[in-house]
Amino acid sequence: MAHYVVTAVRINDDDEIELFMWAKANPAVSRGRYLENPHIASMEDIIAAIRDGDVVEMTFESGIGTVSGGKLLEGHLPSGEVTVTEERASPGRMIDDLPRF
């Protein structure tokens, strides 16, 4: 099981997620300790990782350092389309709150 850290998102003018910025990380060391350079991931990449049992976690920079925003989970829209959603969905730590690229 791999552990990925999502640090940024690209959202289009229709408020749809287009891409994520992520990297494989070692959660045993510390947040932000990447095992590879951060790179672009599609929605399909994120969903495939979740389905494979990998952990996909959002992180945010704060006054106390890097903090977790919780895991991303597979979700389903009313149309039946597959998407991702936040495990915790707490204010300030949601997909919409990630930095944009």
Residue type, 48: A
∠ CA(35), CA(54), CA(87), 5° rounding? 110
What pLDDT does 41 receive? 98
Integer Cα distance of 46 and 66 in angstroms:
21
At residue 33, the pLDDT reads: 83
pLDDT at position 30, please?
59
What is the pLDDT tens value at each position of the chain, 101 positions in all?
A: 999 999 999 999 999 999 999 999 998 875 558 899 999 999 999 999 999 999 999 999 888 888 899 999 999 999 999 999 999 988 999 999 999 99
Q: How far is CA 91 from the centre of its chain?
A: 16
Residues 6+ apart with CB under 8 A from 99: 7, 8, 9
For the entire predicted model, the pTM comes to: 0.91
Whether the CB-CB separation of 22 and 10 falls below 8 Å is answered with: no
